[in-house]
Amino acid sequence: MPRFRYRAADSQGHRVSGELTAANDIDLDLRLRRMGLMLVRARLARRRALFPGQRITRRDLISFCFHIQQIARTNASLLEGLKDLVAGADNTRFRDLLILIVDDLEGGKLLSEALAAHPDVFDRVFLALVRAAEKSDQIETVFARLETRLKQQDELQTELTRLLIYPSITALAVLAAGGVMLFYLTPRLATLIVSLNLPMPFATRLLISLSELTRQHLPWLLSLLLVALVGVHLAVSHSSPLAERMDGFLLRLPSIGPALKKHALARVSSLLALLLQSGVGLLEALSAGADSAGNRVISRKINGAAQQIAAGGGISDSLRRQDLLPPLVLRMVLTGENNGALPEALENVAWFYQRDARETITRALKLLEPGLAALLGLLLALLLLAVFLPVYQIIGELPL
């Protein structure tokens, strides 16, 4: 169906705008009227904007989960509750998404079916939990767990952003110092030395040669770098074996690789515990957890363990054969498997890896900070050496 850009007004006369999928103008008008909006103007959205304005954020999903909890707690109508959420949504993209969901619910679809039409917003884990909630009639409990999961992800992202602030500023300072040195100071230094007909020290010749090379061939170097990056991206996107090799290479990187692996295993363990607690079957939970790993090597090993479990193997034994978890974690899984407390054991595994991943990332960033500072100091030392050696030669040529 085509997508329309519209302008509408609510009952108080406030103007709202957004995009919505509809069969035609009449269908668009009917959908907006169900939401208490009066269509003012509509046109086809022929292409997406180069820089889209709002997007659906994790905080919008947290608000959605909280609202569903309150609807279930008060035994109110899901349809009417979502209409109230539409009326109070500030994000136009999120409001348009809710309008589509409400329209599907009015058409007789279940909530999980309505959400499944938007896989770019609701992932497999989210949908599996919603389907389990509908079967077990635990809407409030499941959406509370979803809200907790989304909040933890938001807190982790905020913490990671905070940790990256100082290294990012230092890296920008290094780039700025290098740019000023190559494109501004060095050409003027070369002009001064040539005009005085003085011999150049090695450091000065090296700096001037690097500056000339960069200034003369910068467009070609940037173009070559851009083509290489685009080529690698396209190759990885269209070749699953190459993409898996790339993921394996990332896992083998010093400091970064162990942190990525621990972070992925923490996410998978947490999601498996959440899915099992909500009544999702083990094999379906493993499949959904593998999709959310974010690394093809880890996903392949989880799917391999799921195949062995489906063939009758034990959970801990199947995971051990994939060489994915250390012995301590495998003992925790085995204990939970034998005692019928697998979700609790997986929660402990997730806590173990979350703490370890956070410590690894923090330690790596603390090592990165002095490294960037040392690089900045090295650039400044090279600049001072290249500048002051000719100055000393000039002073030495002066008559006393």
| End-to-end alpha carbon distance in the chain | 88
Residue 158 lies in a domain: no
Residues 66 and 171 in one domain: no
Residues 262 and 377 in one domain: yes
Residues 242 and 381 in one domain: yes
Cα angle at 27 between 4 and 30, to 5 degrees?
Answer: 110
Q: Does residue 90 contact residue 71 with C-beta atoms inside 8 Å?
A: no
Helices (H), the chain: 25-34, 58-73, 78-88, 92-106, 111-116, 124-136, 139-180, 186-196, 202-238, 240-251, 256-277, 282-291, 296-310, 315-321, 327-339, 342-397
Residues 31 and 173 in one domain: no
Residues 176 and 314 in one domain: yes
pLDDT in tens, the chain (400 residues): 667 778 888 777 778 777 777 777 777 787 777 777 788 887 777 654 434 456 788 888 998 999 998 888 888 888 888 888 887 777 878 888 888 888 888 888 888 898 988 888 888 888 888 888 888 888 888 888 888 888 887 887 777 777 777 777 877 877 787 777 777 777 777 777 777 676 677 777 777 787 777 777 778 888 888 898 888 888 877 778 888 888 888 888 877 788 788 888 888 888 888 888 888 888 888 888 888 888 888 888 888 888 888 888 888 888 888 887 788 778 888 888 888 888 888 888 888 887 887 787 777 777 777 777 787 777 777 777 776 776 676 666 655 5
Domain boundary among 151, 173, 199: 151
Q: Which domain holds residue 15?
A: 3-44
Q: Is 309 exposed, middle or buried (0-12, 13-18, 19+ CB in 10 A)?
A: middle
pLDDT of residue 86: 80
pTM of this prediction? Answer: 0.67
Contacts of 121 (CB under 8 A, 6+ apart): 56, 61, 97, 115
pLDDT of residue 387: 67
Any idea what the CATH number is for the domain that residue 316 is in? 1.20.81.30
Residues 137 and 211 in one domain: no
pLDDT of residue 56: 84
Residue 52 lies in a domain: no
Domain boundary among 151, 184, 205: 151
Q: Does residue 20 contact residue 35 with C-beta atoms inside 8 Å?
A: no
For the record, the structure tokens of 217 come out as 């061939």
Residue 49 lies in a domain: no
Domain boundary among 114, 130, 151: 151
Residues 34 and 120 in one domain: no
pLDDT of residue 37: 78
Residue 221 lies in a domain: yes
Neighbours of 182 (CB within 10 A): 21
Q: Is 184 exposed, middle or buried (0-12, 13-18, 19+ CB in 10 A)?
A: exposed
For the record, the structure tokens of 86 come out as 């539409």
Residue 316 lies in a domain: yes
- Sequence length of the chain is 400
d(CA 274, CA 134): 16
The sign of the dihedral angle between the CA atoms of 211, 212, 216, 222 is negative
pLDDT of residue 46: 62
pLDDT of residue 400: 53
pLDDT of residue 391: 67
Residues 125 and 271 in one domain: no
SS3 199: coil
Tally of structural domains, the chain: 3
pLDDT of residue 51: 42
Residue 53 lies in a domain: no
Residue 156 lies in a domain: no
Residues 123 and 175 in one domain: no
Residues 378 and 299 in one domain: yes
* One-letter amino acid for residue 347 of the chain: E
Q: Does residue 294 contact residue 267 with C-beta atoms inside 8 Å?
A: yes
Residues 9 and 94 in one domain: no
Residue 115 lies in a domain: yes
pLDDT of residue 395: 67
pLDDT of residue 136: 80
Residues 66 and 33 in one domain: no
